[in-house]
Amino acid sequence: MTAQGYDVARVRADFPILATTVRGKRLAFLDTAASSQRPQAVIDAMAHYERTSHANVHRGVYELSQKATDAFEGARERIRRFLNAASVREIVFTRGTTESINLVAQSWGRRLGPGDEILITWMEHHANIVPWQMLCERTGAMLRVTPIDLRGELDVAAFEALLSPRTKLVAFTQISNSLGTVLPVERLLAAAKRVGALTLIDGAQAVAHQRIDVRALDCDFYVFSSHKLYGPTGLGVLYAREAVLADMPPWQGGGDMIRTVTFSGSTWTELPHRFEAGTPHISGAVGLATAIDYLESLGIDAVHAHEQRLLARATQALRAVPGLRIVGEAAHKAGVISFVLEDVHPHDLGTILDAEGVAVRTGHHCAMPVMDFFDVPATARASFGCYSDDADIDQLVTALGHAREVFG
Ligand code: PMP
C-alpha cells in the first residue's frame, strides 16, 4: 500500500496472468502500451455472457436475443458515460483504433478534394498516418505534418503556423506510444477550431491512464481500442459528435446498417447502427464495459498517480544505467519509456530481457517516422499499467545489467 492508499498488490491479484512465470522467472510485464492484461472480472463477465446470454443482437424477438441486445446496448451506454458523450448515438463500435480512424478517413474523408489539407504530427502511430495518406492519394488532398524536437515535444508554434482555412481535419495522438509524450491537447484543439477544422484525437494510449471527457474536450472524433483499456482485443470505439456523424455516408454495407434493401437501392438505419454493418463483437462489448467498471473502481486518478510515480522512479533508475539513452524526454510524459543501450541492438536486448522474465517491446512501435527522426533503427520500450510495480522496474534494471555483461 502506498502513501496515497493505492494497493498495487491487491490490484495485481486481480490479474491472473501476472502470477504466471516466464522461463522459470517472475513475469515483469512492461508492455502495457502494446496491450494491457485483463482482470479476472473481465474474463468472468465475458464467460458469463457466453454461458447465459448469447444470441445475435437486434434481430430476434425471442428472450435470449433480447438479453444479448440489452447486454450489447448496455455496454454502449457504459462507454457513453465513461467518455461523457451526450448520446449513445455518438458511440460506434469498431474493431479498434485503427478501424475507427479508417472509418473516418473512408466515410467523412470522401468529401475532401484538391486544395484541402489534413494536419497530423510527426509522432503519430502508423494508424493515424497511413489512412490519411491513402485518403490523400484518392482525393488529391494534402497531408501536413507538425514537427517535433529532440526531447520529443511537439512544436506547437509550427502546428499553429501550419493551420489555415485549407485545413479540414486535425488528427493527433493524445499520448505518443513511442515516446510517452503527453500532447497539449486543449491548446491544439483551440487552434484547430480557430480555422474551422474538425478534430480527431487518437486516445489509444490515453483512455486507461487519465480521465477523458469528450464534451469538455469538445473534439469531433475520439478513438480508442478496448485491449489497451483492460478489455478484450478485436473491439474499439469511435466517438463522433452527433451532428458530424449524421452527415457522414456509411462506409461498410451489409446487415444491421440498413433500413430497406431493394435491387434498385437501399436506405440506411439510424445512428450509430448505420456505421456497424454485420454481427458485432458482443461478448467483447460486455468485456469492455466491465473493464471500465474495473478501472473506475480503482479510480482513474489514483491509477494515474501510481503510474506517474513509477515513471519517475524508472526514469531515474534507467538514467543510472551506463550506456543507456532514453529516447523522448518531454516535460509531460505518460508511463512509457523508450530507450537504447549502447552497442546492443534493441532486438538482442529484448531477447536477453525475455530470458530474465522481463517483457518489453522492441522495434519501431508502428512509428517509423519517430525512429527516423531520432536516427535509431528501433528502441526498447517499457510501459506501465495499473498493475505495474516497483519489482517490475527492479527486475528490468537487473536484467539490463546482465545485458551489459553479455555485450560488454
Ligand atoms: N494509436 C496509438 C497511439 C497506438 O498506441 C495504437 C496501438 N499501438 C494504435 C493507434 C492502434 O491501435 P490498434 O492496433 O488497437 O488498432
Q: Give yes or no for residue 173 CB within 6 A of ligand 1.
A: yes
Map residue 160 onto helix, strand or coil.
helix
Of ligand 1's listed atoms, the one at least distance from the Cα of 99 is: 16
CA dist 288 and 46 (Å) reads 9
The last residue of a domain, from among 296, 322, 350: 296
Whether 306 and 290 map to the same domain: the answer is no
Same domain for 138 and 262, yes or no, is yes
My answer on whether 114 and 143 are in the same domain is: yes
Closest approach atom of ligand 1 to CA 34: 8
Pick from 104, 225, 226 the residue to mutate for probing ligand 1's pocket: most ligand atoms within 8 Å of its CB: 225
Q: Which atom of ligand 1 is nearest to the CA of 100?
A: 16
Choose, from 136, 219, 366, 386, the residue flagged as catalytic: 366
DSSP assignment string, 97-147: HHHHHHHHHHTGGGG--TT-EEEEETT--GGGTHHHHHHHHHH--EEEEE-
219 in catalytic set? no
Each residue of 223-282: pLDDT tens digit? 999 999 999 999 999 999 999 999 999 999 999 999 999 999 999 999 999 999 999 999
**Residue 4's pLDDT is what?**
59
Residues lower than pLDDT 70 in the chain = 1-4
Q: Are residues 255 and 381 in the same domain?
A: no
Question: Separation of 177 CA from ligand 1 center, angstroms?
Answer: 8
Give yes or no: residues 107 and 212 share one domain.
yes
pLDDT at 3: 47
- Ligand 1 and 204: CB distance under 6 A: yes
Q: Is 379 part of a structural domain of the chain?
A: yes
| 267 burial level (CB within 10 Å; 0-12, 13-18, 19+) | exposed
Mutate to test the pocket of ligand 1, among 209, 366, 370, 381 (most ligand atoms within 8 A of CB): 366
Q: Identify whether 241 is part of a domain.
A: yes
Query: How far is the C-alpha of 268 from the C-alpha of 253, rounded, in Å?
Result: 9
The pLDDT of residue 190: 98
- Cβ–ligand 1 contact at 32 (below 6 Å): no
Which residue lies with its CA nearest to atom 8 of ligand 1? 34
Indicate the residue type of 310: L
* Sheet of strand 198-202: strand arrangement: 91-94, 236-240, 221-225, 198-202, 167-173, 117-121, 142-146
Residue 2 lies in a domain: no
Q: Does ligand 1 have an atom closer than 6 angstroms to the CB of 367?
A: no
CA of 98 to the centre of ligand 1 (A): 6
Å from CA of 1 to ligand 1 middle: 32
Report whether residue 205 contacts ligand 1, using a CB cutoff of 6 Å: yes
d(CA 380, CA 312): 18
Question: Does residue 407 lie within any of the structural domains?
Answer: no
For residues 58 and 200, what is the distance between their CA atoms, to the nearest angstrom?
30
| Among protein residues, the one whose CA lies closest to atom 12 of ligand 1 | 97
Residue 190: give its domain's CATH number: 3.40.640.10
Grid cell in block for residue 71: 447486454
Q: Is the pTM of this model over 0.95?
A: yes
Instruction: Name every residue whose Cβ is closer than 8 Å to that of residue 397 and which is 6 or more positions away in sequence.
Output: 317, 318, 321
In a domain, 27, yes or no: yes
Counting from 1 in the atom list of ligand 1, the atom nearest the Cα of 175 is 3
- What is the reported pLDDT for 1? 53
For the beta carbon of residue 226, count every other beta carbon within 10 angstroms: 32
Cell of 13: 491479484
Write out the residue range of the structural domain in which residue 326 sits: 8-39+299-402
Q: Are residues 336 and 374 in the same domain?
A: yes
Give how many domains the chain has, as a whole number: 2
